[in-house]
Amino acid sequence: MTDFTQIWTEKYRPNKLQEMIGQKHIVGRLKAFLKQESVPHMLFAGPPGVGKTTAAIALARELFGEFWHDNYLELNASDERGIDVVRVKVKDFARTKPIGGAFKIIFLDEADALTKDAQQALRRTMEKFSNTCRFILSCNYPSKIIEPIQSRTVVFRFKTFTDDDITNVLKKIATGEKIEVTASGYTALVDISNGDARYAVNLLQSVSATSNKVDAKEVYEVSTRAKPEEIEVIIKLALNGKFSASRKKLLELLVNKGLSGDLILKEIHSYLVSGDLPDAKKAELINIIGEFEFRILEGATELIQLDALLAKFASLSKEGIK
């Protein structure tokens, strides 16, 4: 079985900035820095699977050419989050002279996982070795990065990929690996990935390992996610006052697919947001979902809370919500 993660990294990952799918606003700014031959410390912020690591590697390739491996260090801060990684690995790499370039690049992935002490040590390291090294910090939550580091970096905010972007990524891989993917398969992969290209590719790998033809049915089965039509049935039954029938459909999902309570709530929320109910009714129902999600996260029994949610929806049927 082909390892799709390795394929994406080595074969399908863009080698140049202009080859990147989506993120045109990011690519344009990075190319401007390349043109000026002046690259600052940078902070890449955004959700997972939107090209932050790819952008860093493409930038290093264009800066250093064949020597990019020698001048580029990638560390995952969530694995090594203590102060020692900054004092030892980062400093050892930063203090050596670059090969074939004016500086090196250190890419710290998931930098928001660094402890406060490690971030303070990193701040001093960024100052001390700014002549020989540039830092690129990648994070999902920039608010967790201390202000002194944020003020020393140029912030790039990556957006989630559009449906077309995800589809283009998947089609490129499916064509290259000769995988048959139906139109419904692409739609399901896009819907479930929610703008995360890495998750979409990994899901495509999982489905293609068990089926010669990738369509919506296989995608939902492998992903252990509820189909939109299943969620629709549960909600409509509840909103029409048919609590027992709605609960029966819910139990089928819990038993057959083993979904967690918080995941089912997210599916219900997603369906309501994209549904055709009036905004006032949507707001009321989503407010109810938020209350029950809080209860589950606080440790309440999932099944009881999901039953209570359906009961609440069913009680609203008297008010004309259909």
CA dist 277 and 204 (Å) reads 33
What pLDDT is attached to residue 6?
A: 54
Under 8 Å between Cβ of 85 and 113? no
What pLDDT is attached to residue 89?
A: 75
pTM: 0.77
What pLDDT is attached to residue 1?
A: 44
Instruction: Select from 110, 115, 120 the least CA-distant residue to 152.
Output: 120
Q: Domains in the chain, start-ordered, CATH in brackets? A: 23-157 (3.40.50.300), 163-223 (1.10.8.60), 228-317 (1.20.272.10)
Instruction: Select from 246, 280, 277, 279 the least CA-distant residue to 264.
Output: 246
What pLDDT is attached to residue 81?
A: 55
What pLDDT is attached to residue 202?
A: 87
What pLDDT is attached to residue 84?
A: 62
CA dist 239 and 322 (Å) reads 5
pLDDT tens string, the chain, 322 residues long: the values are: 455 555 555 677 878 888 888 888 899 999 999 888 788 999 999 998 898 999 999 999 998 888 888 889 888 766 655 566 666 777 778 778 777 778 899 998 888 888 888 888 888 888 888 888 899 999 998 899 999 999 999 999 999 899 999 999 899 889 888 889 999 999 999 988 888 888 898 889 888 888 878 988 888 888 877 888 889 999 999 999 999 999 999 988 887 777 788 888 988 998 888 888 888 888 999 999 999 999 988 888 888 999 999 999 998 876 555 5
What pLDDT is attached to residue 26?
A: 92
